[in-house]
Structure 1
Amino acid sequence: MQQTVDVVGAGLAGSECALQLADRGVRVRLHEQRPVRMSPAHHTDRFAELVCSNSLKSTKPETAAGVLKWELDTMGCHLLSIARDCSVPAGGALAVDRERFSSAVTEAVSSHPLVDVIHEEVTQIPDGPAVIAAGPLCSDALFQAISKAVGEGSMSFFDAAAPIVSAESIDRSIAFSQSRYEENAAGDYLNCPMERDEYDAFMDALLSAERVISRDFEQADLFCACQPIEEVARTGHDSIRFGALKPVGLTDPRTGRRPWAAVQLRAENARRTAYNLVGFQTNLTWPEQRRVFRMIPGLAEADYLRYGVMHRNSFVDSPHALDATFAIPGTQVRLAGQITGTEGYVEAIASGLLAALNTYAELADLPYPELPQTGALGSLVAYATNPATVGYQPMHVNFGLVPPLEDAPRRKDDRRRRMAERARADMASFVGERRDLFPIAGQESVS
């Protein structure tokens, strides 16, 4: 195919999109603004850099996140395969060594003979065919151009990242290795247990700590899956003890009983030299992070490799601003990734893959793909492109978007298993029927 497509942004969506188009014989010009212009959240110039967490969520086949991974495998996803090669232990979740992952994606994209990488800031919408996968932190100039093209239907929300501490600074006489309910006997997480008085003192300090953005947030300003730990704490004294600090399934080896609360730490890399404070996205100032988080038992001497940060994420009102293929109406320009409001790492990868399929179908004069709405990705796409959607907000894949089962079982676990089975069967049929779109897919899927 003697066509060239401009892809703007080498994040998760842009990298997957570029590889998928190139695999189908389409030449790609991949535009990445880093290192010419850095974003508030990125730290390197590598592709697909993960800025919030290193977890790609559950791999369990009966979960929506697990179904999405199965669907992507079936469609021949590149980045998910790379993620598994760069994985670190995380119980029933897929977590990656961030540096290895971004380096591997950068190498895969840069070495593809049909991908030309251009390091520059794009400030205007390309003529097309093009895919804009610049992410929610794209430059102000580009986002203004997008807003002008789609109308003033753009919105924004605050997102946050958790701090990372050095492994050697964690007090292992207090922090213990264990997964909840011993799902993995090796214990993929470190746990910092809290007694009741320690938890109460920590809550008092957390709620009174100085924040970077001092105004009180409205609930609509915060993306629910990445709310700062201090904002969750404001909803009730025990709110984080039943959330990120829940102690269920854990036994403190020092006492032989369940702690009052527990902070979990997840390895950032395969060498386990750095740990992420799970659920500790924060808006506290850096000095306050040092002061307050060192009150956590086991972290009194914590050495911070990266402090938590908060930044504004922008997205467009996709159901009303874009067409059913996420294209700006009347153009050959599509949006992909979190800028469309499909929130989550794997969702961003999936969005990039779908953008490649829609663009390829248009170039090859093929019917656009119509994903089964019974699946994880298809139901998310249906939500994000339905003009009847009111009050559009960023959304992860979840079974609440999936059409209900006929004769649904009463037990939730049985319903989810049936939904997952239906989703896998329908996606397998879809890929089998659309060999014109999937010349490289159809291999045995990873279950």
Structure 2
Amino acid sequence: MKINVIGGGLAGSEVALGLAFKGFDVILYEMRPQRSTEVHKTENFAELVCSNSLKSEDLSNASGVLKREAILLGSILLEIAKKFRVPAGKALAVDREKFSAEVTRLINEHPKITVIRQEVKSLDLNAEETIWVVATGPLSSPDFENWLSSIFGEDLFFFDAVAPIVSAESIDMKLAFEADRYDKGSGDYINCPLDQDEYQAFWQALTEAEVVPIENFSDKFLFNRCQPVEEIARTGFDALRFGPMKPVGLIDPRTDKQPYAVVQLRKENLDGSLYNLVGFQTRLKWNEQRRVFRLIPALHSAEFVRYGVMHRNTYLNSPSALRPDLRAKAYDNLFFCGQITGLEGYVEAISSGRFVAINIEQLLKSGRTITLPKESMLGALLDHITLSGKTPLNPVYANFGLLPQVRARGKREKKLMKAERAIETMRSFLMKEGIL
């Protein structure tokens, strides 16, 4: 059987490595560097193009539950992420360059993986003894997107944005302080406080700044979890103070008080030489980013090593196109995984890639695939994107609202009960199926 994986992002890399480690020959197609995208900077596999955070590991956070399930499933990329983590409180954040470099090394050196660096514009779905896995993510090439539209008759897209990165040495630490919210952690974030007047000036400049014009841009197609900071600001004066600039749980040691607003910076690499502006995805023009973001006192001389950008993302209308095992409804030999399915987030992409790798192994060994119980977090996610019937599909990330209800008094207690049930359900299911 010939297994072809299209796309070397997080999901595609997880599929390729997962199958190769089980002894299957895999052909991995990646169009970079022959053809790049608006946000990729390297030709490495599993490059993180937005944040370097894989979100919280705490079980009161849905992403923490999903990580625990992905480890049970045998995720390879999450184990690599732990090797190259950078301090980020309860979050699993990584040195993005070292992380992708290690994934790239493992793929390039594995004898069962053949890497072909070329753009795939269409698939031969009638080829015998062939399995296709589409993991092109939301940044599929226009030609391949057109082919997908011709097959599925869908034209679904959202806009996504990336936050800027600054050099550590350009941050004025006399006007900033290191701390985690509520002192939970080891002071992994740099916090840039603003008083009311400073916030007023920043908000005014941000809402009036010039943005990059984008064809077909509309609030309707803004990616919920990556709203540009200027779009948040335009919804109201205090919107940022209840969003990415919330000061709750932080005390400025210079005043011993909670600031009026705060911009948090998170490490980009193990050396701590680069920091990204947390929650500051933007489509401001580059000169405007430099002008406006330098109004943040601690960033008055900030050196921007990467400016924020906005790009168009493509998603399959999964409820009408996919089955719960992530195979196309119309083609038994065509799997999809990653963000092209409508799953939002790094861990969601990795988990779906691991799930597809397991299903291909199951299919080749026993002629059947598995469907995960919806009491598990990943099972609930896949159930939502394939069986919810909601079309067009809105991209979704791990959240407790997807899981069946439990009886408990407090919100935290409910989350923890759902988390424990999800993990135990996944463990029991995998044991029953002989996977764990």
TM-score (ref. length: structure 1)? 0.94
Give the counterpart letter for 2:26 in structure 1.
Answer: V
The worse-fitting range, judged by mean Cα deviation, of 425-434 and 159-168 is: 425-434
Cα distance per residue 1:283-330 (max 9 Å; x no partner):
000000000000001101000000000000011100102233222213
Structure 2 CA distance, aligned partners of 1:308 and 1:388?
Answer: 35
Query: CA 1:247 to 1:239, structure 2 compared with 1: closer, same or farther past 3 Å?
Result: same
Q: Pairwise mapping of residues 30-45 of structure 1 onto structure 2 (< 5 A)?
A: 30-45=28-43
Secondary structure of the corresponding residue to residue 356 of structure 2: helix
Please tell me whether the aligned partners of residues 125 and 146 of structure 1 are also in contact (alpha carbons under 8 angstroms).
Answer: no
Shift of 1:434: 1.4
- The residue that corresponds to 2:409 in the other structure is 410
Q: Which residue of structure 1 aligns with residue 58 of structure 2?
A: 60
CA drift of 1:215 comes to 7.8
Counterpart code for 1:139: S
Instruction: Report how far residue 228 of structure 1 moved.
Output: 0.2
1:5 corresponds in structure 2 to: 3
Partner residue in 2 for 1:244: 244
User: What is the rounded CA distance, in whole Å, between the counterparts of 1:403 and 1:248 in structure 2?
Assistant: 31
Cα 1:126–1:336, aligned 2, differ >3 Å: closer, same or farther? farther
Contact 1:177 1:191 in 2 (8 A): yes
Q: Give the aligned partner of residue 320 of structure 1.
A: 320
**Aligned-pair CA distance for 1:331:** 3.8
Residue from 117, 120, 131 that aligns with 1:119: 117
SS at match of 1:302: coil
Q: In structure 2, how many angstroms separate the alpha carbons of the residues matched to 1:245 and 1:209?
A: 18
Equivalent-residue separation in structure 1 for 2:413 and 2:223 (angstroms): 30
Change (3 A) 1:387 1:250: closer
| Corresponding position of 1:99 | 97
Quick check: 207-216 or 68-77, which moved more? 207-216
Q: Determine the structure 1 residue equivalent to 2:402.
A: 401
- Structure 2: give runs of 5+ residues left out of the alignment: none
* Deviation for aligned residue 1:253: 1.4
Cα separation, 1, equivalents of 2:287 and 2:97: 26
Contact 2:377 2:398 in 1 (8 A): yes
**Aligned partners of 2:410, 2:368: CA distance in 1, in Å?**
39
Q: 1:126 and 1:62 mapped to 2: Cα distance?
A: 44
Whether the 8 Å CA contact 2:74–2:354 is kept in 1: the answer is no
State the match for 2:377 in structure 1: 376
**Offset at 1:244?**
0.5
What are the Cα deviations for residues 189-234 of structure 1, in whole angstroms up to 9, with x where unaligned? Answer: 0000000000000000000000002689533210110000000011
Report whether the alignment pairs 1:428 with 2:427. yes
Contact (CA 8 Å) 1:6, 1:126: kept in 2 or not?
no
- In the alignment, residue 424 of structure 2 is paired with which amino acid? A
* CA distance in structure 1 between the aligned counterparts of 2:310 and 2:214, rounded to whole angstroms: 12
CA distance in 2, matches of 1:291, 1:188: 27
Give the Cα–Cα distance (whole angstroms) in 2 for the partners of residues 309 and 19 of structure 1: 30
Q: Which residue of 2 aligns with 1:137?
A: 139
Amino acid at match of 2:85: S
Contact 2:281 2:309 in 1 (8 A): yes
CA distance in 1, matches of 2:425, 2:214: 48
Q: Which residue of 2 aligns with 1:351?
A: 352
Q: 1:404-428: per-residue Cα shift (whole Å, max 9, x none)? A: 12xx112111111110111111111
Counterpart in 1 of 2:218? Answer: 218
Quote the offset at 1:335 in angstroms.
Answer: 1.3
- Residue in structure 2 matched with residue 294 of structure 1 by the alignment: 294
- The answer to whether the 8 A contact 1:132-1:333 is kept is yes
Structure-2 residue corresponding to 1:201: 201
Q: Give SS of 2:301's match.
A: coil
CA distance in structure 2 between the partners assigned to 1:387 and 1:69 by the alignment: 23
Residue 445 of structure 1 corresponds to none
Contact 1:126 1:333 survives alignment (8 Å): no
Give the Cα separation in 1 of the matches to 2:199 and 2:79. 40
Distance 1:397 1:376 in 2: 7
SS in 2 for 1:241: helix
Q: Choose from 13, 19, 31 the match for 1:21.
A: 19
Equivalent pair of 2:192/2:262 in contact (CA under 8 Å): yes
1:239-265 CA distances to partner (integer Å, 9 max, x unpaired)?
A: 011110001111111111111000000
Contact kept? 2:73, 2:355, Cα under 8 Å: no
In the TM superposition, residue 357 of structure 1 has moved relative to its aligned partner by 1.8
TM-score of the two chains, using structure 2 as the length reference: 0.96
Q: How far, CA to CA, are the matches of 1:216 and 1:364 in structure 2?
A: 46
Query: 1: distance between equivalents of 2:216 and 2:334?
Result: 38
Contact 1:180 1:248 in 2 (8 A): yes
Does the Cα contact within 8 Å between 1:4 and 1:26 map onto a contact in 2? Answer: no
